[in-house]
Amino acid sequence: MNDTPIVEVTGLSKTYPGAERPAVDGIDLTIPGGGIFGLLGPNGAGKTTFLSMLCGLLAPGGGRLRVLGHDVRHHADRVKRLFGLVPQELALYPTLTGRENLDFFGRLYGLRGRRLKERVERALAIGQLEEFADRRAATYSGGLKRRLNLVIGLIHEPRLLVLDEPTVGIDPQSRRFIHDSLRALNAQGVSIIYTTHYMEEVESLCDHVAIIDHGRIIARGTLGELLGTYQHGAIELRTETPPDADAAEALRALPGVEAVAVDDRLITVTSHKPETTLPALLAALGERGIGVASLSMGTTHLEQVFLNLTGTRLRD
């Protein structure tokens, strides 16, 4: 990590025509350079709109957005050459080979001749795609397509890499390979912004995290700071039978309770008075005939923090 911010956002907003509320609503955010920054949020929280403005694909409605010191509004072409985007939807041509895909996207960034050839070979090596380089991308497995998608975003040696759900639908071996590749790139000086719904990936990869919901940043900090904020008041129980909706609502009404998340038989509770909440919690479950199989206090994980902040209601 270094003290020079790679992204500086002030009052950033965007409202789509006909929308009742902003998709991005006055975001202030500074992303330090040199690290891997995790951006989390439920469906419809504003992540995609934020990333689209960050990458110069969508004009901001208001506010200021700077990437590597350049104002995105006035230097969009320059900014686009400084970052690589790896979208969730595969951005490659299935009828072209892996090598031809890289050659094509390299030319879009102005690479030619020997320099282009060197970058294509380097990208193939990073993705460990050499033996598949001359096969059509349509024949690739899901993991190979994700690896090609990743190195296409690296073809022009960006200083900032933006990844949107880069490991969706792939096997554990390919996921681990991508993670190891990102760590290696980061160690070589590439700053990374990483979005995912897999909380364990953020805990493993990221040093700073921000959570966005309803177009606003609702939490930010180092991973340790976010986890530490909720650690003291964290109560986690695994019950013998799943609590029903009425039981969950009764738990939310207990003294000191700030949030309750229920996932089948796992109940996670955040309380500002855990010493008061715990006896009442056990009594409430006992009254409903719900036995407790295990109990822990003072521990927390990112998924628990995320659900406490954004709720457990399904999002479209």
pLDDT tens string 125-166: 999 999 999 999 999 999 999 999 999 999 999 999 999 989
- Number of helices (H) and strands (E), helices first, in the chain? 11, 14
Asked if the model's pLDDT at residue 66 lies above 90, the reply is yes
Q: What pLDDT sits at residue 313?
A: 63
Q: Is 274 helix (H, G, I), strand (E, B) or coil?
A: helix
Chain length of the chain: 316
Q: What pLDDT sits at residue 271?
A: 85
Q: What pLDDT sits at residue 159?
A: 93
| Of 28-32, 64-68, 212-216, 293-297, minimum mean pLDDT range | 293-297
Tell whether the torsion through CA atoms of 105, 110, 113 and 116 is positive or negative: negative
Asked if the model's pLDDT at residue 2 lies above 70, the reply is no
The tens digit of pLDDT for each residue in 181-213 reads 999 999 999 999 999 888 889 999 999 999 999
Q: What order do you get walking across the sheet with 70-71 strand by strand?
A: 24-32, 5-14, 62-67, 70-71
Q: What pLDDT sits at residue 261?
A: 82
Q: What is the mean pLDDT of the chain?
A: 90
Contact 41, 211 (CB under 8 A): yes
Asked if the model's pLDDT at residue 20 lies above 80, the reply is yes
- What band does 299 get if pLDDT is binned at 50, 70 and 90? low
Higher pLDDT, 88 or 304: 88
The tens digit of pLDDT for each residue in 79-123 reads 888 889 998 889 999 999 999 999 999 999 999 999 999 999 999
Q: What pLDDT sits at residue 287?
A: 92
**Beta-strand (E) ranges in the chain?**
5-14, 24-32, 36-40, 62-67, 70-71, 83-86, 160-164, 191-195, 208-213, 216-222, 234-239, 257-263, 266-271, 292-297
Q: Would you give the DSSP letter of residue 137?
A: G
Q: What pLDDT sits at residue 315?
A: 57
Tell whether the torsion through CA atoms of 247, 248, 253 and 255 is positive or negative: positive
The tens digit of pLDDT for each residue in 43-54 reads 888 998 999 899
Asked if the model's pLDDT at residue 180 lies above 80, the reply is yes
Average pLDDT over residues 27-49: 92
Q: What pLDDT sits at residue 230?
A: 66
Q: What pLDDT sits at residue 97?
A: 98
Q: What pLDDT sits at residue 231?
A: 66
- What band does 225 get if pLDDT is binned at 50, 70 and 90? confident
Q: What predicted TM-score, i.e. pTM, was given to this entire model?
A: 0.81
- What band does 316 get if pLDDT is binned at 50, 70 and 90? low
Complete domains list, the chain, with CATH = 5-222 (3.40.50.300), 233-297 (3.30.70.100)
Average pLDDT over residues 170-181: 92
The tens digit of pLDDT for each residue in 226-255 reads 877 766 678 888 999 999 988 989 999 998
Contacts of 73 by beta carbon, 8 Å cutoff, 6+ apart: 59, 60, 65
Task: Name 219's bridge partners.
Answer: 211
- Using CA atoms, how far apart are residues 203 and 190, in angstroms rounded to an integer? 19
